[in-house]
Amino acid sequence: MYKKAITIIIIILTVIGIAIVSFVYFSEWIYPEFNGSYNLGGGFYMLECEKGRRIIVRGCSFEGKTCYGGIQLAPSLQEQYDNLGNMTEYTIDAKYSERWIIVKSYNISRQKNHFYIIDKDYNKSASKGGKEIMRFTDSTEFVKNCKYRKIDLKW
């Protein structure tokens, strides 16, 4: 009687263990958001890092469909950390379209939001004097630049 109950418990725990391991492994392919990797299209990703804070990267390190690293774009490494290595700025949110990514970040030391416009088609617009990343500390200037570029993305 007890042997049968113990056998059933072992089988149940084994099935649960296999399910957990399978989920963790396959989440890199099926659900990359579980691992903090949000695809913004065109090879750009929003990644969760320490304490749930986020950064925007051009992805170059992948497991399955999950991006684990890349060239950091917003905030840049110089803007993200101070001279002592303390985090000073991180991404709050990002919205994207086929061509554009808009980013809202928070600067801890200044206690205010900063904004970014990232042009996914930078290589095409560079010949026309375009910039890949535009940073704004003023929300009015950010909105004006979004209207000028006909970026119809909202928070």
Quote the DSSP letter at residue 81. Answer: B
Put residue 129 in one of left, alpha, beta given phi > 0 → left and psi -120 to 50 → alpha: left
Residues facing 17 on adjacent strands: none
Residue-level pLDDT at 121: 86
Reported pTM: 0.79
Give the integer Cα–Cα distance in Å for 87 and 121: 30
pLDDT for res 151: 94
Q: What is the dihedral of CA 71, 76, 78, 81, to 10 degrees?
A: -100
pLDDT, tens digit (0-9, with 9 covering 90-100), for 29-56: 777 887 889 999 999 999 998 777 899 9
Residue 90 has what pLDDT? 92
For the stretch 82-140, pLDDT in tens is: 888 888 899 999 999 999 999 999 999 889 999 999 999 876 554 455 578 999 999 99
